Structure 1
Amino acid sequence: MLYILAGPDDFSRTEALTGIKKGLGDASMLSSNTSVFDGKKTTPGELAAVAQAMPFLSEKRLIVVEGLLERFSSDASKSRGKKTTRASAKQNDIESYINIFTNLPESTVAVLIDGEMGKNNPLFDGISAKAKVSSFPLLKGERLMQWIKNRVTKEGGKISPEAVKLLEKQVGGDLWVMSGEIAKLATFALGRQIEVEDVSRLVGYTRQANIFSMVDAVLGFKAGVGQQMLQQLMFEGMAPPQILFMISRQVRLMIQVKAMLKERKPQSEIQMKLGLNSDFVWHKTLEQSNMYSLERLKELYHKLLDTDVAIKTGKYNDELALNILIAEMCSTGTS
């Protein structure tokens, strides 16, 4: 049996692989009959030897190959150059892999896992008819909200529509983070319905939203709002050094976004390079980087470094140092 699990949603891909493993019998026996290959490096000979081998004290042998389809995508071909001999060798490899995966013995289950296959993939075209293909795109909007509802139900909980919307907005499509937040919320709710107040209280991304508000206040010369957000963050349990770190990180991201936009890099590439998996965090960072001048951002970043030094050298205690930072940034500079 051949499975193809493809798409950028690695959380759902991982869960799908776990489901396949559960259907193959005793876990301890399967582990000794499981082989994992790096598809970017493996050879047809290596795969064929394992694929044709009989399982040991088990009904099934499992082969997991990561990144093999991507290796033969048209995009990958372009990036590797033009050499005719290489092209010929590559074609031979494709034919060998097609032969392996379309002639698997009954006792062998193969799973190909890929993030992006690209278009016009000759290996996929050659084996997909014999495979069970599952696609895992990143979830957004209504599909993500439905996933949240299903996940809460799976955790044995209930959730209000308003809380679903807030989770979707705050956490975004990173299902690894989302699943952790849902498990935490379900445990906290103890059988009752999860409400907006629970999400606001427990989900880490609500703190991130307050960091955004504090950065906006400081850069926008709103000392009162900045002081209020500082007190709110500390009330929620964040220590001043953590607040300082998160503000510094956010300003650094804004500077990087500004620089990459100037280089005319696509927004999707910037988001990926900076590792901003949450659409909420990405869009807010993009919005903030466009609102303020590079000079103003650099001014705040240098003030943050000064504040860090003042705390570490004992010149000021951490809370006082943050209050001074807000006061100084809201009374000087230009937006």
Structure 2
Amino acid sequence: MTKMLNTQGYLLMGEDNWLKAKWFKTFKQDYCIDEQDMMNYVEIKAKDLSFSKLEDTLNTLPFFASHKLIYLKDSGLFKAGKKEESDSFLGLIKDLPEYILLVVDEKEVDKRNKLYKVFKERYAIIVCDYPGEEQVITILQKELKKNRLEMDKGNLLYFIRNMPENVEAILTEFQKLITYVEEGKITQEAIDAVCIFSLEKRVFELVKKIGAKESSEALAIYNRMIQSKESPIGILVLIARHYRVMLQIKYLSSKRNLSQKELATQLKLPYFAVKELTEQSRKYSFKQLEAILAACLETDQAIKTGKMEGVKCVEVLIMNCLNQPKIG
């Protein structure tokens, strides 16, 4: 893939380290480059970046090889406010010697940056963002096959949707599951027993149970969060956020007739989350959602003024949400 791009400079963008590592491994294999070869592989981190040393490296021929690879990680040169350093770097890499391969790995990139524009025009930009559910399922299915385990698609989706959108983090948790189960089939019970879900994912599940009027399950989720030392205020903030998004979805879908894909783009949320929240929003009227958001504000004030103890205060809010009459 990298040879087909026929260029010497590569900007790796995005936050998914697993995808970056996979791309970089393939790149080195394509060019037969060994990281142990100190003469022809140079790795530079931000704190070690010296433009004079970089210039020397660029101008030194490879040792008994056709190429020399320079890997620059998290330099910060593609962010705003680094004009002088960016210009110095640009002067060095604008016309690379034919034997140089340059890979620049950045999490944050300002697309207005002159360096970014040069890479877009002259070199190659590789975007390493979260690949989406279907590709992640394929990655996990390969891991299952390798370990002779089974897992149905419903449980794969349950696992993925309770994980951060980061392949590296997903695979770390998945490895725990594989070690725990050892043989047979991975079930939802195993996922719940082993995996650590983010607070946001657990609150999402809590709000889902509230909408379904499953009071015992909703309170059980809340109690588990409190037992794991989560802050009642932190839980409250996320409850309010979910109901606020529901209100936005209800308005945009009914008043402006936006599709779920358009909603996902506008609200900057995963498609599956918009789909779930759209279903949940149908269980409430506009007035009910507004009343719940007002109750969230009152709960916040009650906690901060000491009117009621935080854990109990949020529990009362949850009960009030559960007692909202069904519509339709």
TM-score (norm 2): 0.59
Deviations 1:245-292 (A, max 9, x none): 4322322333454566667693343243xxx3x543343234334553
CA distance in 1, matches of 2:252, 2:296: 22
Query: Do structure 1's residue 216 and structure 2's residue 211 form an aligned pair?
Result: yes
Q: Deviations over 1:33-85 (max 9, x none)?
A: 5377xxxxxxxx99x9577332899984514499xxx9xxxxxxxxxxxxxxx
Task: String of CA shifts for 1:158-214, please: whole Å, max 9, x gaps.
Answer: 54222434324544854244234224434544x445433211334416734532323
Aligned to 1:226: 215
**Between the two proteins, what is the percent identity of the paired residues?**
18
Q: 2:44 aligns with which of 24, 34, 38?
A: 34
Q: What residue number does 1:73 align with?
A: none
**Alignment partner, residue 144 of structure 1:** 136
Partner Cα separation in structure 2 for residue 5 and residue 256 of structure 1? 37
Q: Which residue of 2 aligns with 1:77?
A: none
Q: Give SS of 1:26's match.
A: coil
Mapped to 2, the partners of 1:26 and 1:144 lie a distance apart of: 31
* Closer, same or farther: CA 316–122 of 1 in aligned 2, 3 Å: closer
With over 3 angstroms needed to count, the CA separation of the structure-2 counterparts of 1:231 and 1:25, relative to structure 1, is closer
Calculate the aligned-residue CA RMSD, in Å. Answer: 5.2
What SS does the corresponding residue of 1:266 show, helix, strand or coil?
A: helix
Q: Residue 244 in 1 paired to residue 250 in 2?
A: no
Q: Distance in 1 between matches of 2:15 and 2:138?
A: 16
Equivalent residue number for residue 171 of structure 2: 179
Q: Distance in 1 between matches of 2:64 and 2:293?
A: 60
Q: Does 1:10 align with 2:16?
A: yes
The answer for the alignment partner of 1:85 in structure 2 is: none
Q: Return 5+ residue gaps in structure 1 as ranges.
A: 37-44, 71-92
Conservation of the 8 A alpha-carbon contact between 2:144 and 2:150: no
**What is the deviation of 1:306?**
1.9
Structure 2: gaps of 5 or more residues: 1-6, 79-89, 112-116
- Amino acid of the residue matched to residue 317 of structure 2? L
The structure showing larger relative contact order (alpha-carbon pairs under 8 Å, at least 6 residues apart) is 1
1:62 equivalenced with 2:64 (yes/no)? no
Residue of structure 2 in register with 1:266 after alignment: 262
Letter in 2 for 1:266: E
Aligned residue in 2 for 1:110: 102
The structure richer in helix per residue is 1
Is the contact between residue 3 and residue 111 of structure 1 (CA under 8 Å) also seen in structure 2?
yes
CA, structure 1 residues 283+15, in 2 after alignment: closer, same or farther (shift >3 Å)? farther
Instruction: Please state how far the C-alpha of 1:11 moved relative to its aligned partner.
Output: 3.6
Instruction: State the TM-score, normalized to the length of structure 1.
Output: 0.58
Counterpart residue number, 2:279? 287
